[in-house]
A and B are shown apart, each in its own frame.
Chain A
Amino acid sequence: MNRILRPEIECMPRTELEGLQLDYLKRTVPKLYATVPFYKAKMDEMGLDPFRVKTLSDVRYLPVTVKDDLRAAYPYKMFAAPMRDIVRIHASSGTTGSISVVGYTQYDIDMWSECVARSIIAAGGTKDDIIHVAYGYGIFTGGLGLHYGAEWIGACAIPVSGGNTKRQVQFLRDLVTVGGMGCTPSYALLIAETARALGEDPSTFPLRYGIYGAEPWSENIRRELERELGISAYDIYGLSEIMGPGVGFECEYQSGLHINEDHFLVEVLDPETHEPLPDGEYGEIAFTTIDKEGMPLLRYNTRDISRIIPEPCPCGRTTRRLQRIMGRSDDMIIIRGVNVFPSQIEQVLMQFSDRLAPQYQVIVSKKGALDNLEVQVELKPGFDFDEISSLENLHHQVKAAISSELAITIDLKLVEPHAIERTQGKAVRLIDKR
């Protein structure tokens, strides 16, 4: 299969790729020292000579950047390029509602577009395709990111954005005569569900592929989307602070996210010591943007939990792969001392997809002094609950399966179809009332 946009880069021998990374890094570190007071202060404080980066592994001595640093730099203090060279601004929101701003030069926009273009080609897209973009357009990076990537390869982008789900169904049916779509996986599920409710079978639409990202999702959700929409579903990874979607993407083997390593140096950090971990071990993912101009970041800790897959990919790309993101270390809930990710619960629920809908919510509260975790999940429409023993059996099986996966006892509540509120952006899976 030839689904590689830039084989001379994506399949470059590792030694050459690492040489290229080092060249970029040797330029970017002194530039940051000279232009961004935050990095100058950090390096001075650490006694670091910005010209002493000699090997790629020297990256471990560079300062780590965290979200709070970006907030403190609001709005433009992290920019390394003068404002006259900035052609675009995006922003990312934090959980506390504060916003951090990202600036792009034309070089950055072109580089980003090409990264997304690589993702589309890897998903089987071509220049003849029509691509339905249902990520939100605006200051967040999803919509415009995929849009520019589609145009980069010469495909036709439809900037549908989020919302008006009935119209989404109509466009997918009528306008996307050849091609694919992109949005969050939970919104894709809502579109499929809405199509069914309108009496349509979305698996008969001409859509070939979906490029889904911006929230963690599971292998089971992938299968559900592929079956419901009659497509191949691919993961795309990215974050506004680093660039936007396209930092990493899945190839036709659907087994991990190839990092665009000619632009992003990836590390896995121990969540406690922040020391780099070897390939294969789980930790917090950090990126250094080695050739960005507008707002390069050193070792930005995404707080996403994953690992680097040590084995090479059969597709021929030499870029290393990141395992599907397990969740953010911020999403990790600690229940009675046990670490729990909502994605683990989702994995279990999908084993019951014959009787349960892929809509759930996790509610954490205090029951007396103890933490309590309740999972609410919707019954599938058409489930025969009249024989109440079938409800009881399902209840016991699901409760036992989740409790055993998480190694803690949970409460389960089966709820009516459509009882859980739908969202058009990232799904709200966790409500922590503690």
Chain B
Amino acid sequence: MAQQLSVFLENAPGHLSRLTRFLGDNNINMHALFVADTGDYGVARILCDQTARAVEVLRDAGFSVTVTEVVAVEVPDKPGGLADLLDDIAAADIDISYSYCFVDPATKNACNVFRLKDPGAAQLIRDAGYRVLLDTDL
């Protein structure tokens, strides 16, 4: 399992750049950034190298931050690799809240991140033979 930061953003110009600039100024390196928005609100979901410290400095600076457990799964490096993964997840009846994809900087492999309705279901993905990354792998 991996720890993901979720930062509440007002959907207005400058808020995302303020956030990313702030992380950069604090020497926090992002592996993945995915912004979800509803038109009124945005949530920036971030995987980074120093999650605990990032939470602390963001809260001190007045950002609204929560930490969410997500599952980062290495996508097999072959044609149709992501489709296979998604098929297997559907077949195992695992409920997904959302997912997004990024490239793991260490291995240059594609990696898919899932928030599961039931975090315990991560084991089912492992059981299906996939590599589930830990914070230390990122």
A interface list, Cβ under 8 A from B? 379, 381-382, 384-388, 391-392, 395, 413-418
How many A-B pairs fall under 8 Å by CB?
Answer: 45
User: Mind listing 27 A-B residue pairs with CB under 8 Å?
Assistant: A379-B8, A379-B64, A384-B66, A385-B6, A385-B8, A385-B64, A385-B66, A386-B6, A386-B115, A387-B97, A387-B98, A387-B115, A388-B36, A388-B37, A388-B38, A388-B41, A388-B43, A391-B38, A391-B41, A392-B38, A395-B38, A413-B40, A416-B8, A416-B62, A416-B63, A416-B64, A417-B64
- Knowing that A388-B41, A395-B38, A415-B10 are A-B contacts, what are 16 other residue pairs whose CB atoms are under 8 Å apart, sorted by A's residue number? A379-B8, A382-B66, A384-B66, A385-B6, A385-B8, A385-B43, A385-B64, A386-B6, A388-B37, A388-B38, A388-B43, A391-B38, A392-B38, A395-B40, A417-B64, A418-B62
Chain B 95-106, CB within 8 Å of chain A: the 1/0 string? 001100000000
User: In the complex, A327→B58 CA distance in Å?
Assistant: 39
A413 to chain B minimum Cβ distance, whole angstroms, is 7
Return chain B residues, CB-CB under 8 Å to A391: 38, 41, 43
B residues 26-81 near A (Cβ < 8 Å) are 36-38, 40-41, 43, 45, 62-64, 66, 68
Return chain A residues, CB-CB under 8 Å to B37: 388
User: In the complex, A382→B68 CA distance in Å?
Assistant: 12
B interface list, Cβ under 8 A from A? 4, 6, 8, 10, 36-38, 40-41, 43, 45, 62-64, 66, 68, 97-98, 115
B6 (CB) vs chain A CBs: closest residue:
A386
Return chain A residues, CB-CB under 8 Å to B115: 386-387
Q: Is the interface of B mostly helix, strand, loop or mixed?
A: strand
User: In the complex, A381→B63 CA distance in Å?
Assistant: 11
In the A-B complex, the 9 residue pairs with the smallest Cβ-Cβ separation, listed nearest first, are A386-B6, A416-B64, A386-B68, A388-B36, A385-B8, A392-B38, A416-B8, A391-B41, A387-B97
With a 10 A CB-CB cut-off, give which of B4, B8, B38, B68 has the most chain A CB atoms: B8
Return chain A residues, CB-CB under 8 Å to B8: 379, 385, 416
Return chain A residues, CB-CB under 8 Å to B66: 382, 384-386
Return chain B residues, CB-CB under 8 Å to A385: 6, 8, 41, 43, 64, 66
A415 (CB) vs chain B CBs: closest residue:
B10
A376 to chain B minimum Cβ distance, whole angstroms, is 10
User: In the complex, A16→B70 CA distance in Å?
Assistant: 74
Return chain A residues, CB-CB under 8 Å to B36: 388
A246 to chain B minimum Cβ distance, whole angstroms, is 40
A288 to chain B minimum Cβ distance, whole angstroms, is 51
Return chain A residues, CB-CB under 8 Å to B4: 386
